[in-house]
Chain A
Amino acid sequence: MRLGWIGSVLAHVIMLVATFVAWPRDAPDLPPPSGVVPVEIIDKITDVTNVTAVAPMEPETPDDAQVAPDGAPQAVAPPEPDAPEPIADPRQKQKKQEKSRRVVEASDYAGFFDAAKKNQGRPNPSTTDAERGERPRDRIGAGTDMTMTETDAINSHVQRCWRAPADLPYPERLIVKVRIRLNADGSLAAAPELVSPRSLGGVDPATRVAAEAAMRAVRVCEPFPVAPNRTERVNAVLNFDPRLMAGAN
Chain B
Amino acid sequence: MADQMFNPNRKTTRQTERAMKFLQAFLLSLAAAFAVAAPAHAELEIDITRGHLNPMPVAVPDFIGTQAQEVGVGKQVAEVIRANLTRSSLFRITDPAAYLDQAPDVNTQPRFGDWKVTQAQALVIGQSTLMPDGRLRIEFRLWDVFGESEALASFYATTPENWRRIAHKISDAIYKRLTGEEGYFDTRVVFVSESGPRGARRVKQLMIMDQDGANPSILPTGAAQVITPRFSPTAQQITFMSFETGRPRVFLYNIETGRREVLGGFDGMSYAPRFSPRGDSVVLTLDLGGNSEIHRMDLRSRSVTRLTNNPAIDTSPSYSKEGDQIVFNSDRGGSRQIYTMDANGGNVQRISTGDGSYTTPVWSPRGDLIAFTKQSGGRFGIGVMRPDGSGERMLSESYLDEGPTWSPNGRVIMFFREARPGAGPKLWSVDLTGQNLRQVTTPADASDPAWSPLLP
Which chain A residues have a beta carbon within 8 Å of chain B's beta carbons? 43-44, 46, 145-146, 151, 154-155, 158-160, 162-169, 177, 179, 204-210, 212, 215-217, 219-220, 235-245, 247-249
23 contacts between A and B (CB under 8 A): A43-B44, A145-B44, A155-B48, A158-B46, A163-B51, A165-B180, A204-B180, A205-B176, A205-B181, A206-B181, A209-B180, A216-B147, A217-B48, A217-B51, A220-B121, A236-B43, A236-B45, A236-B46, A240-B48, A241-B49, A245-B49, A245-B50, A249-B53
A163 to B179, alpha carbons, bound, how many Å? 11
Instruction: Find chain A residues with CB under 8 A from B177 CB.
Output: 205, 209
Judging by beta carbons under 8 Å apart, are B366 and A237 in contact? no
Judging by beta carbons under 8 Å apart, are B49 and A46 in contact? no
B234-261: which have CB < 8 Å to A? none
On whether A158 and B52 interact (CB within 8 A), knowing A44-B42, A205-B176, the answer reads: no
Judging by beta carbons under 8 Å apart, are B44 and A146 in contact? yes
Instruction: Find chain B residues with CB under 8 A from A239 CB.
Output: 45-48
Judging by beta carbons under 8 Å apart, are A169 and B44 in contact? no
Q: How far is the CB of B29 from chain A (nearest CB, A)?
A: 20
On whether A238 and B46 interact (CB within 8 A), knowing A168-B180, A209-B179, A249-B433, the answer reads: yes
A105 to B30, alpha carbons, bound, how many Å? 48
Instruction: Find chain A residues with CB under 8 A from B43 CB.
Output: 179, 235-237
On whether A163 and B48 interact (CB within 8 A), knowing A169-B368, A206-B180, A212-B147, the answer reads: no
Q: How far is the CB of A227 from chain B (nearest CB, A)?
A: 14
**New A-B pairs, 9, CB < 8 Å, besides A166-B53, A167-B411, A216-B147:** A146-B44, A158-B48, A159-B51, A164-B50, A167-B181, A167-B432, A169-B366, A204-B180, A220-B146
List the B residue with the shortest CB-CB distance to A170: B368
Instruction: Find chain A residues with CB under 8 A from B90 CB.
Output: 167
Which chain B residues have a beta carbon within 8 Å of chain A's beta carbons? 42-54, 56, 90, 121, 144, 146-147, 151, 176-181, 366, 368, 391, 411, 432-433
Instruction: Find chain A residues with CB under 8 A from B433 CB.
Output: 249
List the A residue with the shortest CB-CB distance to B410: A169
List the B residue with the shortest CB-CB distance to A220: B146
Judging by beta carbons under 8 Å apart, are B44 and A237 in contact? yes
Judging by beta carbons under 8 Å apart, are A151 and B46 in contact? yes
Instruction: Find chain B residues with CB under 8 A from A238 CB.
Output: 45-46, 48
On whether A237 and B46 interact (CB within 8 A), knowing A168-B180, A168-B181, the answer reads: yes
Judging by beta carbons under 8 Å apart, are A237 and B50 in contact? no
Instruction: Find chain B residues with CB under 8 A from A151 CB.
Output: 44, 46
Judging by beta carbons under 8 Å apart, are A159 and B180 in contact? no
Judging by beta carbons under 8 Å apart, are A212 and B144 in contact? yes
Contact of A163 among B52, B151, B181, B366 (CB under 8 A): B52
Main DSSP-derived SS at the B contact region: loop
List the B residue with the shortest CB-CB distance to A192: B147
A2 to B47, alpha carbons, bound, how many Å? 65
A43 to B44, alpha carbons, bound, how many Å? 9
Instruction: Find chain B residues with CB under 8 A from A166 CB.
Output: 51, 53
Contact of B51 among A146, A169, A242 (CB under 8 A): A242
Judging by beta carbons under 8 Å apart, are A235 and B44 in contact? yes
Main DSSP-derived SS at the A contact region: mixed
Instruction: Find chain A residues with CB under 8 A from B52 CB.
Output: 159-160, 162-164
Q: Pick the most buried of B44, B178, B366: most chain A CB atoms within 10 A of its CB.
A: B44
Instruction: Find chain A residues with CB under 8 A from B391 CB.
Output: 247
Q: How far is the CB of A133 from chain B (nearest CB, A)?
A: 24
Instruction: Find chain B residues with CB under 8 A from A169 CB.
Output: 366, 368
Instruction: Find chain A residues with CB under 8 A from B178 CB.
Output: 209
Q: How far is the CB of B83 from chain A (nearest CB, A)?
A: 20
Instruction: Find chain A residues with CB under 8 A from B47 CB.
Output: 155, 239, 241
Q: How far is the CB of B272 from chain A (nearest CB, A)?
A: 29
Q: How far is the CB of A148 from chain B (nearest CB, A)?
A: 10
List the B residue with the shortest CB-CB distance to A241: B49
Judging by beta carbons under 8 Å apart, are B432 and A249 in contact? yes
A164 to B147, alpha carbons, bound, how many Å? 17
Judging by beta carbons under 8 Å apart, are B179 and A164 in contact? no
Instruction: Find chain B residues with CB under 8 A from A220 CB.
Output: 121, 146
Instruction: Find chain A residues with CB under 8 A from B411 CB.
Output: 167
Contact of B50 among A154, A159, A216 (CB under 8 A): A159
Judging by beta carbons under 8 Å apart, are A219 and B147 in contact? yes
On whether A241 and B147 interact (CB within 8 A), knowing A169-B368, A216-B121, A249-B432, the answer reads: no
Instruction: Find chain A residues with CB under 8 A from B176 CB.
Output: 205
A154 to B151, alpha carbons, bound, how many Å? 28
A40 to B88, alpha carbons, bound, how many Å? 50
Instruction: Find chain A residues with CB under 8 A from B144 CB.
Output: 212, 216
Q: How far is the CB of A101 from chain B (nearest CB, A)?
A: 16
Contact of B42 among A46, A155, A243 (CB under 8 A): A46
Q: How far is the CB of B377 from chain A (nearest CB, A)?
A: 27
Q: How far is the CB of B20 from chain A (nearest CB, A)?
A: 27
Q: How far is the CB of A238 from chain B (nearest CB, A)?
A: 5
A243 to B51, alpha carbons, bound, how many Å? 11
A220 to B391, alpha carbons, bound, how many Å? 35
On whether A163 and B46 interact (CB within 8 A), knowing A169-B368, A208-B180, the answer reads: no
Q: Top 6 A-B pairs ranked by shortest CB distance?
A: A164-B51, A162-B51, A206-B180, A209-B180, A219-B146, A205-B180
Instruction: Find chain A residues with CB under 8 A from B151 CB.
Output: 212
A146 to B45, alpha carbons, bound, how many Å? 10
List the A residue with the shortest CB-CB distance to B391: A247
Q: How far is the CB of B341 from chain A (nearest CB, A)?
A: 24
A242 to B411, alpha carbons, bound, how many Å? 19
List the A residue with the shortest CB-CB distance to B50: A159
A53 to B46, alpha carbons, bound, how many Å? 21
Instruction: Find chain A residues with CB under 8 A from B179 CB.
Output: 167-168, 209
Contact of A216 among B45, B146, B366 (CB under 8 A): B146
A248 to B48, alpha carbons, bound, how many Å? 16
Instruction: Find chain B residues with CB under 8 A from A160 CB.
Output: 52
Q: How far is the CB of A100 from chain B (nearest CB, A)?
A: 17
Judging by beta carbons under 8 Å apart, are B146 and A248 in contact? no
Instruction: Find chain B residues with CB under 8 A from A249 CB.
Output: 53, 432-433
A222 to B374, alpha carbons, bound, how many Å? 48
Q: How far is the CB of B163 from chain A (nearest CB, A)?
A: 27
Contact of A244 among B45, B49, B432 (CB under 8 A): B49
A154 to B90, alpha carbons, bound, how many Å? 26
A118 to B151, alpha carbons, bound, how many Å? 47
